[in-house]
Amino acid sequence: MTEAASRKTPLYDEHVRLGAKMVSFAGWLMPVQYTGIVAEHQAVRNNVGIFDISHMGQFIVASTPSSQKSGGEGAAATWLNMMLTNNIDKLDVGMGQYTFLLNERGGIIDDLIVYRIGDQNFLLVVNAARTEEDLAWLQEHFSVPVRIEDRSANFGGVAIQGPRIGELFHALFGKDVELPPRNAIADLPFGETTVSVARTGYTGEDGIEVFFRATNAVKFWNAALEKGKPLGIKPCGLGARDTLRLEMCYPLNGSDLSPERNPIEAGLGFFVDLSKPNFIGRDVLLKTKENGLCEKLVPFRMKEKGPPPRPHYAVFQNGQRIGEVTSGTLSPSLNWGVGMAYIDAAHAKIGAEIDIEIRGQKFRATIEKKPLYKKSTS
Amino acid sequence: MNIPDDLFYTETHEWIKREGENVRVGITDHAQSELTDVVYVELPKMDRHANAKEAVAVVESVKAASDIYAPVKGTVVEVNKALEADPGLINREPYGQGWIFVLKIDNVDELKQLKDSEAYRKQIG
C-alpha cells in the first residue's frame, strides 16, 4: 500500500459509512472488504453481492459524423478490429465480448470488454490501472475518422453478482423488464434516469454490471442494497472479487497478464481471432502458434491442506524450477489452496504434479482444468 | 478496538502476557482485523530459540502472509496446536483461544522495552 491513492469513486462515502477497509488500488481508494472476504465471497456464490467498479475505465469509441457522411460508415468498427484481438464483426448491436489490446510484440496492454452500443458506437470497459495507458495507445494509433471519449471520470458502475440476481433485477427495474441475455447490454430506465445494464461479470456467477453517470451512483447503490436486503445481499470488496475470479481462473491484469505475456500463453486464445486479416500483435501470435509456446498459464490445486500459494512463489517439478505462481489464495468455496502459474509449456499437462516452494519448503500441487471451482462439485 | 490493559504490546502488533518465567504471545484485535480472515497459521518449532524481533511464525489471511515476531529473546516452549485445525480462532478470540505460542524468557529485563496498552493505543491511533 505504498502507492499514493488520491482518487475516490462516487461511492467512497458509502463504503466508509458501511465500515469498509479502504486500500489503495490502481490509484483509487477502494474497499478491500466490509465484513470479511470469506462472508462476501459466500454471499456472491449463494445469494447476491454488489461491488463498486467505478474505478474501471470507460471509453466511448465512435465514428465521427463527418466520416459517416463521406461514406466511411464502418470507421469505428474497422479501426477497433485493428486494435483488438477478438472480432468486432461478430458483435450485433447490444452485445459485448471479452478481448485484448496488444502491443506490437503481442504482449497484453489490457484485457477488456467491448460492447457494441450502436452500429458504429462502442463502449470499452478497461482495467483501472491501465486506463491512461490504454487511452494513450489508442490515441497514438488513430488512423481513421474515429473519436474516442474517455468518460471514466463522469461515470460510475457496480457489478451485482450471484444466483439471486434475477429477483434483484426485477425488484430494481420492474417485474416486466427482462434481464439482458448473457453478454448483452441494454439501456434501462431507473427512476428519472437511464442506466446501462450488461449481463457480464468477473465472478463466475450469473450477474450484471451497471454503468451510470457518477451523479446517480449513490442512489443506485443504495437502492440495490435496500432491495437486495431480503435476498441476503452484501456489499463486496476487492478481496472477494479476487478470490471469486481466481476460482474461475479469470486472469487478473498485472498479475496473470502483462505486456510480457501474450493471450496464447495465458490460455486465452479463444478471445483472439487469428482469421482476421490484421490486428496489432497478430504476426507474433501466429508465430507463437507455429513455433509452440515457451510457457503457459496453468491453474493448480494444492494436494494437501497447508499454507495457501501466493504470487511469485517458485514452481518446481522433479527438483527443476519450471515457473512461478502469478495468483494464489485459499479458495473460500473449496477451503483449499489454489492458484495459477506460468510454467514451462512442456510440463503444462492437466493432472501433472508440481511443487510450490513456500518459505523454503516444497508443497505438492496438481495441474487442473479450468475452472478451479464448479458449482456441482461443491 | 479491544486493547486489554493487563497485556504488553509490540510495534508489530503482538500482545504479550507475562506468566512467571514465560510469556504467552498472540496478535492484537487490531492486527486480526487488519489481516482479515485468518486461514492458515504456521506455528513456531518447539524448543526453537529466537532473538527479539525475529520472525518465528506466519499467519496467513485470504489476502496475504504475515510474519509473527518473538517479542523478546527466548525459547519456544508451547505452541497452540488448535490453530492448525481452526485458524479462525485468531479472529474470534485474539486474546484468548487464539494465542499462538509461549516463550521462556532469557532475560526478564527485556520486557521493559515492550509497550503498555496506552502506548499501543497511541500507535494504532
- Residue in A38, A244, A358 to test binding to B, most B beta-carbons within 10 Å: A38
Can you name the residues that pair with A363 across neighbouring β-strands?
A356
Residues ≥6 apart with Cβ < 8 Å to A208: A159, A160, A161, A165, A169, A179, A180, A197, A198, A199, A200, A201
pLDDT of residue A143: 76
Residue A195 to residue A122: CA distance in whole angstroms:
16
pLDDT of residue A1: 43
pLDDT of residue A2: 44
Q: Which residue, among A284, A292, A239, has the nearest Cα to A34 in the 3D structure? A: A239
Q: Which residue, among B118, B101, B91, has the nearest Cα to B29 in the 3D structure? A: B91
User: Which residues in chain A land under pLDDT 70?
Assistant: 1-5, 67-73, 376-378
- Cβ–Cβ gap A308/B40 under 8 Å: yes
Q: Which residues of B touch A329 (CB under 8 A)?
A: 62-63
How many percent of chain B have pLDDT more than 70?
Answer: 100
pLDDT of residue A378: 43
Q: Which residues of A touch B40 (CB under 8 A)?
A: 306-308, 330
Q: What is the ipTM of this complex?
A: 0.85
- Using the structure block, give the residue that is written with the C-alpha cell 427512476: A191
pLDDT of residue A145: 86
DSSP string computed for B46-72: TT-EE-TT-EEEEEEESS-EEEEE-SS
B67 touches chain A (CB under 8 A): no
Q: Which residues of B touch A330 (CB under 8 A)?
A: 39-40, 60, 62
Average pLDDT on B13-41 reads 95
- Cβ–Cβ gap A307/B60 under 8 Å: yes
A265 within 8 A of A288, measured Cβ to Cβ: yes
CA atoms within 13 A on the CB side of A54: 27
Q: Which residue, among A15, A200, A181, A7, has the nearest Cα to A97 in the 3D structure? A: A200
| Alpha-carbon distance A238 to nearest alpha carbon in chain B (angstroms) | 10
B110 within 8 A of B68, measured Cβ to Cβ: no
Q: Which grid cell is A292?
A: 509452440
Closest partner residue to A330 (CB to CB) among B34, B42, B62 is B62
Task: Write the pLDDT tens digit of every residue in B66-111.
Answer: 999 999 999 999 999 999 999 999 999 999 999 999 999 999 999 9
Find, in chain A, the residue whose alpha carbon is nearest to that of B65: A310
pLDDT of residue B36: 87
- Structural domains of chain A in order of their starting residue, each with its CATH number: 7-54+154-246 (3.30.1360.120), 57-150 (3.30.70.1400), 294-378 (2.40.30.110)
B84 touches chain A (CB under 8 A): no
pLDDT of residue A152: 95
pLDDT of residue A74: 82
| Number of CB atoms found within 10 A of residue B6's CB | 9
pLDDT of residue A64: 85
Crossing angle for the helix pair A165-173 and A217-228, to the nearest 10 degrees: 120
For residue B25, what is the enclosing H or E element? strand B22-27
- Cβ–Cβ gap A310/B62 under 8 Å: no
- Average model confidence (pLDDT) for chain B? 96
- Structural domains of chain B in order of their starting residue, each with its CATH number: 8-107 (2.40.50.100)
- Cβ–Cβ gap A332/B62 under 8 Å: yes
pLDDT of residue A102: 98
B45 touches chain A (CB under 8 A): no
Residue type, position B81, single letter: K
Burial class (CB in 10 A: 0-12, 13-18, 19+), A377: exposed
Find, in chain B, the residue whose alpha carbon is nearest to that of A41: B62
pLDDT of residue A6: 83
- Cβ–Cβ gap A21/B63 under 8 Å: no
Closest partner residue to B37 (CB to CB) among A21, A36, A242 is A36
Task: Write the pLDDT tens digit of every residue in B40-75.
Answer: 999 999 999 999 999 999 999 998 899 999 999 999
pLDDT of residue A144: 75
B38 within 8 A of B59, measured Cβ to Cβ: yes
